[in-house]
Amino acid sequence: MSAKQNHNNVIRLGISTCPNDTFTFHALLNRLVDWDGLEFQIDLLDIQQLNQRLFEGSFDVAKTSFHTALSLSDRFCVLPSGSALGFGVGPLLLAKQPGLRPTDNSQLTLCPGEHTTAKLLFDLFHPKSTEIEHCVFSDIMPRLKADEADFGVCIHEGRFTWQDEGLGLVEDLGTRWEELTKCPLPLGGLVADQTLPPDVIDRVQAIIHESLQYSLANRASALPTMRQYAQEFHDDILMQHVELYVNEWTLDLGDVGRNALSKLSQLAQERGLLGSSKQPISVWRSAQ
C-alpha cells in the first residue's frame, strides 16, 4: 500500500532502537500522548534496516540516516522534530590497535551500513583508503577486538565504551566535520512521504513533538522503554546517549539545522556521493 492509497489514517512508522529514538518515541509507543485520529503500525529496527526499507517503500514516516534522506529527497521531506544532530556527536573511526592509520586499500574498515551518515563521512574524509565491509553496528567493536578488521566506524553507545575495549582512536569524524563546516553534524532525522496529505503530516509532526516533550519532562519514565531495545543496559550510559543526541534541534531543526543539512548535501554532491540528479532536501513547514 503506497502512501497515496492510505485512506484509513494508518501510518507505517519505522524508528531505530537507539536510546535517543526510544526516548523520543516513548510516549507515542505507550500511547501516553493522543494519536489524534491516526493509527501507527510501528517497527523498531537497526538504522541500516530502516534505511533499506525506506528505499523499498515500506514506511510512510521513518527515522533514517541523513545520507539516505538526501538520496531520497525526491520522495521524502524531513520533519522538524526528531532529528539527531549536534556538536560532539559524530561517529568515531577506531583501529584494532592504537597507532594504526587507514592508508592502504588492502586494509579493511567495517561500517554500519551503505547509506548511513557514518559511511558518508568516512567517504568524505577517507576516500578510497581501505576496503569496506558493512555489518550491524553492534558487531563492529567485537570484530575489531577479534582482529577480523583493521578499522571500524563506531556509532551509538560504543562512543562511550570503546576505550574499555583497548581499541585505538584514529579520528572523531564529527570533529572533522565541525572544523570544516562550523555546523552541528546532522546524523539522522525523521522523514515523511511527500504524498501523504498535508494535514496528516502536520498531525504526525505534532504527535512526535509532544512525545518528545513528554519524555523531556518525565525522563525517568522513558528508561524501561529504552532498556527494552538498547544494546547497552546501564542506565547511566543510556542517559548519556540522550544527553548527547537529544537537544534543542531534536525538538525543532530551526535555521541552524536546515543550514547543516544543506552543507552536508553540498559536500556530498561536490564529491559525487549522491548522484547528479537529486533535488535539495526539504524540511516540512506546516500547512496550517
Nearest of 262, 253, 241 to residue 80 by alpha carbon: 253
| Closest C-alpha among 162, 139, 159 to residue 240 | 159
Q: Is 210 left (phi over 0), alpha (psi -120 to 50) or beta?
A: alpha
Please name the residue ranges forming H helices in the chain: 19-24, 26-29, 47-55, 66-71, 117-125, 140-145, 158-161, 173-181, 198-217, 223-229, 235-245, 248-251, 254-270
3-state secondary structure of 275: coil
Q: Alpha-carbon distance 51 to 28, whole Å?
A: 21
Q: Interior CA angle at 179 toward 273 and 187, to 5°?
A: 50
φ, ψ for residue 76 (rounded to 5)?
-130, 150
151-154, strands of its sheet edge to edge: 131-134, 108-111, 151-154, 92-95, 168-172
Task: Note if 156 is an active site residue.
Answer: yes
Q: Which three cell numbers stand for residue 263?
A: 552543507
Residue 234 DSSP class? -
Given 26, 67, 126, 156, which residue is catalytic? 156
Q: How many whole angstroms separate alpha carbon 226 and alpha carbon 49? A: 19
As annotated, the active-site residues are 156
